[in-house]
Chain A
């Protein structure tokens, strides 16, 4: 579950980057990825909490 959560979380961040790049708002995307990717609760839920809490891991990104 940890491996899936972490790779899917990275995929979500890449999705933000691609979407904002396509919308010509790339700086906004970089800022969003930096803030979401450094969120301590998000990081713990993604990389340290080996539980199936999809909503908690991916809700911010969605």
Chain B
């Protein structure tokens, strides 16, 4: 069925107009019984406390091993792990994961060496911590 332009415009206006309820809004429905809430809270506490006692038996493979403390910390892994130098990374140079490779980057590309990424200080234990976690896992 073909509709003319004004009929379409009227229909569109009708769709876009804010709906006006013909009857007053129904009374706000009350939350369900508070007894269920109390039961759920008590069960949740006891249920979660069982994990507290099972903590040491939880599966180690569920451990989160990504570096999350400092973004871009993986760039510092190569020099720290193979040469013990931290914080140090080579900007724009693909890391070579061996002692000789890391030393060759320092020898061949001294201009690319940096001690920070994004103006974020990475020295000290917090920075090494990210690298150590990478080395362990």
Contacts from A to B (Cβ < 8 Å): 2, 6, 9-10, 13-14, 17-18, 21-24, 26, 29-30, 33, 37, 40-41, 43-49, 53, 55-56
Q: Kindly supply a per-residue 1/0 record for chain B positions 11-47, scoring 1 wherever the CB is within 8 Å of any chain A CB and 0 otherwise.
A: 0000000000000000001111010110011001101
Residues of B in contact, count (CB < 8 Å): 26
Known interface pairs A2-B55, A43-B58, A45-B64; A37-B31 also in contact (CB < 8 Å): no
Partner of B58, one of A10, A18, A47: A47
Whose C-beta in chain A lies nearest to the C-beta of B45? A10
Secondary structure type dominating chain B contacts? helix
Secondary structure type dominating chain A contacts? helix
Known interface pairs A47-B51, A47-B55, A53-B68; A33-B44 also in contact (CB < 8 Å): yes
